[in-house]
Structure 1
């Protein structure tokens, strides 16, 4: 661990606790300012509305000092982006440079997540970086928007590392012209890139102001001590659980091309002392489509995110722990080279969301028996990521990307959360009004998926139903999964409901696979997305009958589910307490031993 010293006296700098807290708050505020600026300036709804972005401040070695409260998958990868372009550029970095990296083999999350970073110089010395990343609507790949079935990374579009969008404050007009000619939505993409540039400029300005106020050595020393503090807190929590090896596994539907071949995901969690190792090496081999995962930018980020949420949950943890690199120092992540979680270059890595969500869910499953109060039942562990596109009357492309929310499993003392992204995703929903105003689509239905959460003492969260209709001919790509796997129930809780994708549900229903790539739709054809609902936690017969009745009134569950799964009886539409108790006694007498997991 580096200790910053007073250059004149050559002694370590001690930052008092109050100044430390003030600087820590300032760092976090700067990151939030950067994020908010990107949202306000962004052109695409994916950034403006869904907040599929990341922003923060970073050390000269890429370590995270502070991050915004946006999508963890867009934040945890930024150290890798910075280290990736450092290998390419070395000392060829200057004030007011804006450096591009979206190479999955040089730290990126996946190709459309473009990182722009600015080196921060203070009195001629490089002292850190202001970094941003955002998911862009199109980068010129084989299909508009999203990709699933492509042969390699070169088919994913414009991938660059260490290229300067701005050099010494001057925009690279040649690169801008390449973007204009390469991507399908140049106006939106260039607008979103400039939003990232503005955020980098703001972060740099604010950080320099912080150094002007407190001094360079004090600020750098505070940044290091804040990381050390977060590391100590993480190690303290890890040390509380027993040493051991904990394992779990599940399956992914297919790779988007070989629809009858499921892919195994295996997680082994080894805890020893104050450290944890997560090994996914027993998972499936890399595939020939884009259904692979960048090791640094995607797998590691998801593992860090879920372990942080388990050990340092802000709701249950009394002390505030800054979100910085120190949290991740006690964690080691292993992935066999040549697996879907660490493929050989140039394998495509565009569609990586469902694999890493599954890893996060399996970490929870592996640790649940020893950490039952800090984990939940099986969650959607899924991202139903859809892109819609077509040509307008001028033969120019329109592209719309939408994140369809999953849900969380039941948890100790509470039902699972409905219609929210799981784990390392924190994106918000795409409002119907935004879709109707900007693209030739109309939303026919957008609501919770009723009567689908796994029954339990604490019910599993509900996913959503989203039904969109094309008003003109167009294309759709879906990066989905969990058509063949149900979210697991825990300690007697029942499993949740799997996903579905249905074309033309109102005219000629056609079941589509969980992944489609540039699927053609005619005007007035439609698609219905049914997102997985999550597993229940605890014995359903221990759920308060009054709560079951409330769920009935709210149409969260049906009378049939109340009777069969919860043993709740209605008489003349009202809760019948005596009949309910008799029904529950009969169910208890006839069932077998309550399983730890139900799937």
Structure 2
């Protein structure tokens, strides 16, 4: 059997090789990045695209918010820089939230790949840069222009020559010029490695174009997703979830429709856009919504343009999930990462055994900043996102995961790295007992973290936390996960969102939420209850939720 003269086995092998190529691309980005959130935590994306802008393969390393929004951003690059005008050695850059990955702190770099003087593919990548000027990486801005340097679609490198004007502009608009410049070069370098590996692969298989392989990948993936969708009943299901918002609760409303053409999620009924930077561009809304769908409906099918095509999303313009420019969007992840839980609430009415209970969902990053630090090496003070996570929701036959970032997949920042990069001391970082919602299957646990300045100076926390007033909801008799908390060791409670100062001599105390439980806690296996008690995950005072007594 063959397609356009190429054997199906060869096509499958080349498909697998493409995945290996982009994974090496992603690893180069992670290993050369300056920002710890990329280098240590994997907050990045890397992928290869055909000349139509279709994503053919993504690196396993990477976040859905980056990958699935980058999948659309390459089409914007092609619109601005037609393939026919591209030259070997070119590279293009933007951080436009509406044409990139949702906020200014993500740089997207796209590079054409040439073989024998002809373009054959495009490589694209994204990573989070810690500081790009402006008010800083927090939700307090009231428009996108306050949030930092805004880079339109520009040529970063022209035929191998770096655009020194662009690089000078980038360096001049950040508190961390060394890190930011290094991260930009890291993005360009990983694309170059991907292009080299692709040409090697094409030489090995004796092909001069990816057209046949691209059509095969997209067609087979689309068919596979539609086969899975066909197993579901047809109809429309609804769900609503309330989260904290900035200064007022936010309602996320979804209608999920299953048809022969795929699955469509409409967010009509969702709250209007906020005055503050928790708004979400539609590209990011789409990215996390389709990721949630894919996890439940098509989790064994590779992520590419074909598998994404049957999963579509709409949201009213002007809503918090389709906020138009110039809405502030710096902390768009706080709302956007809730969307898998929202669609799970629809899907649990159809296939409850495949859908988890609600979890923390959004990252609980400790975005810390200070104006003084010895040995800054060319930077102005310090700024860091110490990635932290809460618990995930219980699953049908398994407990939730503790201190795990779902749906983002970002790893937690090691304390050793945070203390090396900042003058902060982490006095405590441990699992939070009793935070996982009791149930037949228990929710995952959150964490307790205590941080203090080690140099007798105040530091800022650019808070962007949620699930404080509206914790993850239990299901089928399971209890809610514990609510989050942020405050000072001295007893002052801090706001969940907004810039605040931690004074010298005091400690920042953060308690991340726990995931919700599924099922009646009294029906939980007694051995599991005993194990949780022995491990200190459930205290004797709270074991009564499972029908246990302290005797």
- Output the TM-score relative to the length of structure 2: 0.95
Report whether the alignment pairs 1:558 with 2:539: yes
* Aligned residue among 425, 431, 434 for 1:451: 434
Post-superposition offset of 1:414 = 0.7
> Where does residue 33 of structure 1 map in the other structure?
24
Moved more, 23-32 or 124-133: 124-133
Q: Distance in 1 between matches of 2:96 and 2:550?
A: 59
Alignment RMSD: 1.7
Structure 1 residues 163 and 149, CA gap change in structure 2 (3 angstroms): same
CA apart distance, 1:159: 1.6
Q: Which of 317, 325, 344 pairs up with 2:305?
A: 325
Comparing 299-308 with 269-278, greater Cα deviation is found at 269-278
Q: 1:247-284: CA deviations, max 9, x gaps?
A: 111222132xxx2x212111111111241110112111
Residue 274 of structure 2 aligns with which residue?
287
Counterpart position of 2:446:
463
Aligned residue in 2 for 1:267: 254
The residue aligned with 1:405 is 389
Q: Look up the SS of the partner of 1:404 in the other structure.
A: coil
Question: In 2, are the aligned partners of 1:226 and 1:322 still within 8 Å (CA)?
Answer: no
Match of 1:76 among 68, 78, 85: 68
User: What secondary structure does 1:164 align onto?
Assistant: strand
How far apart, CA to CA, are the structure 1 residues paired with 2:34 and 2:506? 28
Q: Does structure 2 conserve the Cα–Cα contact (< 8 Å) formed by 1:81 and 1:101?
A: no
1:163-194 residue CA offsets vs partner (Å, 9 max, x unmatched)? 12211110111111112211110101111111
Q: 1:276 aligns with which of 247, 252, 263?
A: 263
* Counterpart for residue 296 of structure 2: 310
- What is residue 585 of structure 1 aligned with on the other side? none
**Equivalents in 1 of 2:220, 2:103: separation in Å?**
31
User: Shift of the alpha carbon at 1:354?
Assistant: 2.0
Task: Give the SS at the match of 2:448.
Answer: strand
1:562 is displaced (CA, Å) by 2.0
How many residue pairs match? The answer is: 542
Partner of 1:574: none
Secondary structure class of the residue paired with 2:359: coil
Q: Report if the CA contact (8 A) 2:474-2:480 is conserved.
A: yes
Please list the CA deviations of residues 351-375 of structure 1 after superposition, one character each: whole Å capped at 9, or x if unmatched.
Answer: 1112122221011011112111211
1:59-84 CA-to-partner distances (Å, cap 9, x unmatched) read 22322111111222221111222122
Residues 512-532 of structure 1: CA deviation (Å, up to 9, x unaligned): 121022x22332332111111
How far apart are the structure 2 equivalents of 1:196 and 1:182?
Answer: 18
Alpha carbons 2:391, 2:436 under 8 Å: kept: no
Report the Cα offset of residue 419 of structure 1.
Answer: 0.8
- The reply to whether residue 85 of structure 1 matches residue 77 of structure 2 is yes
* Kept after mapping to 1: 8 A contact 2:252/2:270: yes
Q: CA deviation at 1:58?
A: 1.1
Matched position secondary structure for 2:274: coil
TM-score under structure 1 length normalisation: 0.87
CA distance in 1, matches of 2:355, 2:362: 17
Correspondence for 2:96: 103
Segments of 4+ moved more than 3 angstroms:
215-219
**SS of match in other structure, 2:157:** strand
Task: Tell whether the 8 Å contact from 1:85 to 1:161 is kept in structure 2 after alignment.
Answer: no
SS of the equivalent of 2:154 reads strand
Q: Which residue of 1 aligns with 2:37?
A: 46
Residues 83 and 218 (structure 1), Cα distance of their counterparts in 2 relative to 1, 3 Å cut: closer
Contact conserved, 2:463 with 2:495, CA < 8 A, in 1?
A: no
Aligned to 2:134: 141
- For the pair 1:242 / 2:222, whether they are aligned, the reply is no
Deviation, 1:412, is 1.6
Partners of 2:371 and 2:346 in 1: CA distance: 47
SS in structure 2 at match of 1:422: coil
SS of aligned partner of 1:287: coil
Task: Name stretches of at least 5 consecutive residues in structure 1 with no aligned partner.
Answer: 1-10, 315-320, 572-599
2:533 is the alignment partner of 1:546: no
Q: Is the 8 A contact 2:115 2:208 kept in 1?
A: no
Asked if 1:120 corresponds to 2:113, the answer is yes
- Structure 2, unaligned runs of 5 or more: none
For residues 344-383 of structure 1, the aligned pairs below 5 Å read 344-383=324-363
